[in-house]
Amino acid sequence: MAKPKPLGDDTLALHAGQHPDSDFGARATPIYQTASYVFKDADHAASLFNIERTGHVYSRLTNPTNAVLEERISALEGGVGAIATASGQAATHLGIATLMGVGSHIVSSQSIYGGTHNLMAYTLPRFGIETTFVDPRNPDAFLDAIQPNTRLVFGETLGNPGMEVLDVPVIAEIAHSHDIPLMVDSTFATPMLAKPFDMSADIIVHSATKFLSGHGVIIGGLLVDSGAFDWEGSGKFPTLTEPYEGFHDLDFVEEFGPVAYITRARKEGARDFGAAMAPMTAFLVLQGMETLGIRMARHVENAVKLADFLESHEAIEWVRYPGLSSHPDYELAQRLLPRGAGSIFSFGVKGGRPSGQRFIESVEIASHLANVGDAKTLVIHPASTTHHRMDASALEAAGISEGLVRISVGLESVDDLIDDLSQALRASQKV
């Protein structure tokens, strides 16, 4: 037999997890808009509840449409399984809560999505989970912050908003040296640009709201398990290696081996927290993922051209994009993200806060809103919107200058984007 040739990413993005429907031959994934599923008899029901047979019971736990999406992202990331959640935040919460409880500690990159920062800095402490935030460019800082009760190292493949590139192999090695898994939010990269599991990350979360769905029409998240972390050898994760009273003393690692983590997340977290993705949402994410490969290539192509344009513009102080050689992580991005460093970046408009505000209010094709990863180009000026209460020094402490604009470059004709930003930049400099 010839050496096996796995299916390529673009093929998996179109097909993984789905075969034409056996009843009617539907080629597209049907939307199973149903809460529950009929049992054949009482023993069949008991067998499903007790994980003896496969199938669906209730759509908070599993749903046939969601299952296709879960398989598809698992296939693209190279994992063993996934859970579709109501939002990216729900995926991150589910991922953390499956691992730890009161008295635990997380070491996280400080360059992360504001919602994740809020979760770790303010909300999880109320449940006894503390977080130490560190500079993602300083591996020693991760190492130094690890405590005896640390149960997770966390970072974003591409940090927010500075586009810091996480050195996933190095940070994973640090985490593993202390028998701790590395969870990576890979929303900005998507599996088309980065494969964190191939770099030894253990768990991936995505906000499916962004590039995966790609059109700004849904809120959703995905939690993906590599199946590679040695929970038993670590000895730090009783939720996975000791009998669970909430499921008839089930020991997940003993019975499920490599799929223990994602199974526990479903049997406990999906069941009890209940942040399930709606089937219609899963369908829309699947529609988006069908074109993920070609969209990401175009996103990156446009981002590189816009970043080049902005870097040489007289009204721009700086551009922070790891696809530019001026970015401190340029070489790391070339190595870890050879297909491109995403299409989200930030730049500084000369003239500070008022100029930034004039710029943002002058764009005509780009949309001024709080989101990223849409097919359409999006911009936001934190100093006049999300962070408007902060003065200059507070903004600086948060790593945000007064003229900073974040852009999520879309799929428009790039010449039109250049024209739009040109006129907005001219407007920004008028006093």
Partner 1 sequence: MDLEVRGAQAYAASGHKPIDSEKQTVVFVHGVGQDHTTWVLPIRYFARHNRNVLGLDLPGHGRTPGPGLETIEEMGDWVVEALDAAGVEKAALVGHSMGSLVVLETASRYPERVRSLAMVGVSIPLAVSDALMTSAEVGSHDAIDMLTYWSHSKAAQVGGSPTPGMWMVGGGMRLWEQAAPGVIHSDLRACNEYAVGLNRAGEIQCPALLILGEKDVMTPVRAAQAVKEAIPDQDTVIFRGAGHALLAERSDPVLDQLIRIV
Q: Which of the 8 DSSP states describes residue 123?
A: I
| Nearest-approach distance from CB 116 to partner 1, in angstroms | 23
Residue 338 makes contact with partner 1 by CB under 8 A: no
| Nearest-approach distance from CB 10 to partner 1, in angstroms | 13
Residue 6 makes contact with partner 1 by CB under 8 A: yes
Residue 23 makes contact with partner 1 by CB under 8 A: no
Nearest CA among 315, 279, 330 for reference residue 33: 279
The whole-angstrom separation of Cα 255 and Cα 260 is 8
Residue 7 makes contact with partner 1 by CB under 8 A: yes
Chain positions 251 to 280 lying near partner 1, rule: CB under 8 A, are 254-259, 262, 266
Residue 133 makes contact with partner 1 by CB under 8 A: no
Beta carbons within 8 Å of 246's beta carbon, 6+ residues apart: 268, 272
Exposed/middle/buried for residue 213 (C-beta within 10 Å: 0-12, 13-18, 19+): buried
Nearest CA among 103, 127, 98 for reference residue 231: 98
Choose which of 186, 226, 355, 428 interacts with partner 1 (CB under 8 A).
226
| Nearest-approach distance from CB 162 to partner 1, in angstroms | 32
Choose which of 13, 18, 186, 216 interacts with partner 1 (CB under 8 A).
18
Q: Structure tokens of 90?
A: 């729900």
Choose which of 34, 45, 56, 376 interacts with partner 1 (CB under 8 A).
56
Choose which of 228, 365, 369, 390 interacts with partner 1 (CB under 8 A).
228
User: Which span sits near partner 1 by CB under 8 A: 79-87, 104-112, 356-364, 382-390?
Assistant: 79-87
Sheet bearing 367-368, strands edge to edge: 316-320, 344-349, 404-408, 378-380, 367-368
Strand partners, 224: 82, 204
Residue 45 makes contact with partner 1 by CB under 8 A: no
Choose which of 50, 177, 326, 413 interacts with partner 1 (CB under 8 A).
50
Q: Report the alpha-carbon angle 298-299-301, nearest 5.
A: 60
- Closer to partner 1 by CB, 82 or 407: give it: 82
Type of residue numbered 425: L
Any idea which residue has 């149903």 for tokens? 34
| Nearest-approach distance from CB 51 to partner 1, in angstroms | 6
User: Which span sits near partner 1 by CB under 8 A: 66-74, 108-116, 157-165, 186-194?
Assistant: 66-74
3-class DSSP assignment, residue 324? coil
Residue 240 makes contact with partner 1 by CB under 8 A: no
Choose which of 28, 33, 52, 370 interacts with partner 1 (CB under 8 A).
52
Residue 74 makes contact with partner 1 by CB under 8 A: yes
Q: How many chain residues are in contact with partner 1, going by CB under 8 A?
A: 51
Choose which of 9, 13, 29, 72 interacts with partner 1 (CB under 8 A).
72
Any idea which residue has 């081996």 for tokens? 257
Choose which of 9, 13, 29, 83 interacts with partner 1 (CB under 8 A).
83
Residue 48 CA: distances (Å) to CA of 55, 250, 275: 7, 15, 21
The whole-angstrom separation of Cα 329 and Cα 76 is 25
Instruction: Work out whether the CA dihedral 140, 142, 147, 148 comes out positive or negative.
Output: negative
H helix intervals, 312-329: none
Residues that bind partner 1 in the complex, under the rule CB under 8 A = 1, 3-7, 15-19, 46-47, 50-56, 62-64, 66-68, 70-72, 74-75, 78-84, 226-228, 243, 249, 254-259, 262, 266
